[in-house]
Structure 1
Amino acid sequence: MRSLPRLPGASSLLAVVATAASLFSAGAQQPAASNLVHTKMPTGFGMMQPLWDGKAPGAVGAEDDDQPKLFCYPATGPGPHTAVVVLPGGGYNHLVMEQEGAHEARWLQTHNISACVLQYRLSPRYLYPWAMVDGQRAMRLMRFHAKDWGFRPDAIGVWGFSAGGHLAAWLATADPHGDARFRADGTYGEAVQSDAIDKVSARPDFAILNYARTDLDPSIPGTNGMEALTGKNAPQVLVDALNPVLHVTKETSPSLIYATERDEKVNSLNATSFFNALQKAGVDAEVHVFQQGPHGTHMGDDQPRYPELAVYPLIVEHWLQLHGWLTAPTAEK
């Protein structure tokens, strides 16, 4: 395992990301507005909440996929509730809304935790920074409306899968009061805030990471940057800015990390590398690397070929209990 570079301070991290964004915006081409993905809605949600009233910033059209939104599954027991933003995977070019979204949201709901599945913007219609913008806005929207929506403002987490796990880890390590959007001159934060919601912290209070891309080091087998997010030939400074393991600090969100050794798409070294960085920074973390299971095993409870994984929901439940985010365990319905 390579040694990590010296962790940047907040000001140096902003400079790195701003430089990256400036370089990227100077050389990238926005995909044609006709490149639609047509994301399917998850099933069983109780409420749909757009992230912005009216047109989303950076939107290139007026189709459904141009309007990022939350599909919410509110808890019904006594509150206020812990809340979780679920980030489906799909390689930043589609979203696995049912098995990596609705399924987990319903599981959380039965455990008296409110959940919202995020439909974030996708390649090729949208490249960096728009998925990150949507992730930050989702966290801020949940926290801004915590009292109105019955959430604990200090218990709003993320649960991400694969590319959604990368987004979750990015949120866990990014500047909570920064902004993923930048202008060509490198200005940051206040210049692009659109309303009071943008002033709220975007850092999750905890992160659950399932087979997540958390380390973009090319020495890890199968790791070759994030082309679907950044476009081709992204400058290394941008790749580094989007590499969560390089930006872990003592302020990073406590994390539960799940992976399988036989994952053919996201090597389990991503999990152990991020865990090691969290340990070095003194952040509470727990990692489980199971021997069996390919990429995309969801919660592990729908994998009859890999019965070992069936214990994972119980691991999540106990980890949430350990930290006080699940205060009244209930039997699954």
Structure 2
Amino acid sequence: MRSLPVLIAVMLTALYFNTSAQKLADPILLWPQGAPGATGTSDEDKPAVIPFIPDAAKRNGAAVLVVPGGGFTIRAVDHEGVLVAQWLKEHGITAFLLRYRLRPLYNRPEWLADGQRGMQFIRAHAAEYSISPNRVGAVGFSAGATLIADLTLNAKPAQANATDPLERLSGKPDFLILAYGSTRVADGADLTTMPPTFMYGTVEDKGSQTGMLDMYTRLYKGGAPVEAHFFRNGIHGTGFALGDPVLGEWTTLLYNWLLEGGYLTAKPQVELAGVVKLDGSPLLKGMVILTPVHDKNAPPVIIYMNNTGTGELGRFLVAKNQGPVEGRYKVEVRQDATRWTSNSREPFMIAMMDKQSKGTLTDADRKEWGEYIRKRNLSPSIYKQRVFARKHPRDRSNYIIDIKSGKDVLIEVFSK
């Protein structure tokens, strides 16, 4: 009989600890002494953030301010807030869920101030949370996306001599993630300092998609670094679509974007130059995939070999913002064709296409061009893609190279 009370006590204890482990952290007020312009004393008058801190073994130093939507009248704090923050936490990113002020109690100046303050808070406490202050982004959904886009385009500069230490820090995100929400980009807006932006939406969600398409087009035309993924189906308010086999893939695309952009590592990306050879000759058409060996948070690098232009065959150059970090990378070479010559390497083709674009192509030119085409060998040159994961076919280990800043690399594989 004594075993029953003991069993009950054990079960209650386990339930207590399980419930405690699932409890969210307490909100941290962004203005402990009261927010500017506050008209009351409820939680809705007190902007705050809730931190979601990854385990130390997973933490990569990146941080994201999470801003749920709700038309500025509610906050979809669960599926566009907690679930998003937990996903980020599981991927080693420290998340801060923002509680911002709403209408009709407040308006745009207040929720923009709350968003900026949230960004400043993260940077001010970077050391405490093991965060890199130059890898702090923001993700917003619907109205939350509008808030962070508005905040970024109309960012207030840091005040170096401010008495409030948070105001001495920038409130502008280092990267933006906009989910089915946007803001209008003014005509002639300077987008040269716009941070890299990732956009997600669906065609079905017409109420949001129109604004997203307009913003994407303006960012693209303004030269801002933007990437967009618009799915065909999906209602408004899908959040991260966790568990959805189709829409749920957008988080995979997002993670790859963060990884490729170098946001998940403290190591700086470097420019990479070199030459790729297959069996002693330049790789004419294909790709090289470089995968970090020791640092899973380092960016992978994909090099497409098209051999356009008139430079050395097989030579490549990867820009710094698409490049690797210093360290060891596994090499995989893929051959897409054994015979390939880009039109940009053919003087005759260059001359003909130039005339065509200028409208000066004559009948004699067309005849000569046609005869030239008939003489070219445009038949298939390969049966299927050939993959080389080792330098020599009989090697037992993967092909590894050591990347150093400013040092060219020779990537060479052999089929025999």
Above 0.5 in TM-score?
Answer: yes
Match of residue 289 from structure 1: 230
Cα deviation, residue 270, structure 1? 1.9
Once the two structures are superposed, the pairs formed by residues 91-130 of structure 1 within 5 Å of their partners are: 91-130=71-110
- Structure-1 separation of matches of 2:257 and 2:30: 29
Residue 58 of structure 1 aligns to which amino acid in structure 2?
A: G
Match of residue 325 from structure 1: 263
Determine helix, strand or coil for the equivalent of 1:147.
coil
- Structure-2 separation of matches of 1:203 and 1:105: 20
Distance change in 2, residues 1:116/1:44 (3 Å): farther
Asked if 1:61 corresponds to 2:2, the answer is no
Determine helix, strand or coil for the equivalent of 2:105.
coil
RMSD of aligned residue pairs (Cα, Å): 2.3
Determine if contact 1:275/1:285 at 8 Å carries over to the other structure.
Answer: yes
Cα deviation, residue 282, structure 1? 2.3
Residue 192 of structure 2 aligns to which amino acid in structure 1?
A: K
- Structure-2 separation of matches of 1:77 and 1:144: 20
Determine if contact 1:173/1:253 at 8 Å carries over to the other structure.
Answer: no
Higher normalized strand content (fraction of residues): 2
Cα deviation, residue 269, structure 1? 2.5
- Structure-2 separation of matches of 1:315 and 1:105: 17
Greater relative contact order (Cα 8 A, min sep 6): structure 1 or 2? 1
Match of residue 256 from structure 1: 198
Cα deviation, residue 272, structure 1? 2.2
Distance change in 2, residues 1:67/1:286 (3 Å): same
Residue 323 of structure 1 aligns to which amino acid in structure 2?
A: G
Distance change in 2, residues 1:190/1:122 (3 Å): farther
Give the TM-score taking structure 2 as reference length: 0.55
- Structure-2 separation of matches of 1:177 and 1:202: 8
Determine helix, strand or coil for the equivalent of 2:246.
helix
Q: How many residues align?
A: 246
Cα deviation, residue 108, structure 1? 0.5
Determine if contact 2:194/2:225 at 8 Å carries over to the other structure.
Answer: no
Distance change in 2, residues 1:111/1:310 (3 Å): same
Match of residue 237 from structure 1: none
Determine if contact 1:213/1:270 at 8 Å carries over to the other structure.
Answer: yes
Determine if contact 2:192/2:223 at 8 Å carries over to the other structure.
Answer: yes
Tell me, which stretches of 5 or more residues in structure 2 are unaligned?
Answer: 1-21, 266-295, 298-416
Determine if contact 1:75/1:113 at 8 Å carries over to the other structure.
Answer: yes
Asked if 1:312 corresponds to 2:250, the answer is yes
Match of residue 33 from structure 1: none
- Structure-1 separation of matches of 2:140 and 2:106: 19
Determine if contact 2:69/2:80 at 8 Å carries over to the other structure.
Answer: yes
Residue 66 of structure 1 aligns to which amino acid in structure 2?
A: D
- Structure-1 separation of matches of 2:23 and 2:104: 28
Cα deviation, residue 171, structure 1? 2.0
Determine helix, strand or coil for the equivalent of 2:195.
coil
- Structure-1 separation of matches of 2:73 and 2:53: 28
CA-to-aligned-CA distance 1:188-225 (integer Å, 9 cap, x gap): x799x66121121111000000001323xxxxxxxxxx
Cα deviation, residue 128, structure 1? 2.3
Asked if 1:211 corresponds to 2:180, the answer is yes
Residue 316 of structure 1 aligns to which amino acid in structure 2?
A: L
Determine helix, strand or coil for the equivalent of 2:170.
coil
- Structure-1 separation of matches of 2:187 and 2:88: 27
Cα deviation, residue 315, structure 1? 0.6
Determine helix, strand or coil for the equivalent of 1:117.
strand
Moved beyond 6 Å, runs of 4+: none
- Structure-2 separation of matches of 1:167 and 1:131: 7
Distance change in 2, residues 1:67/1:296 (3 Å): same
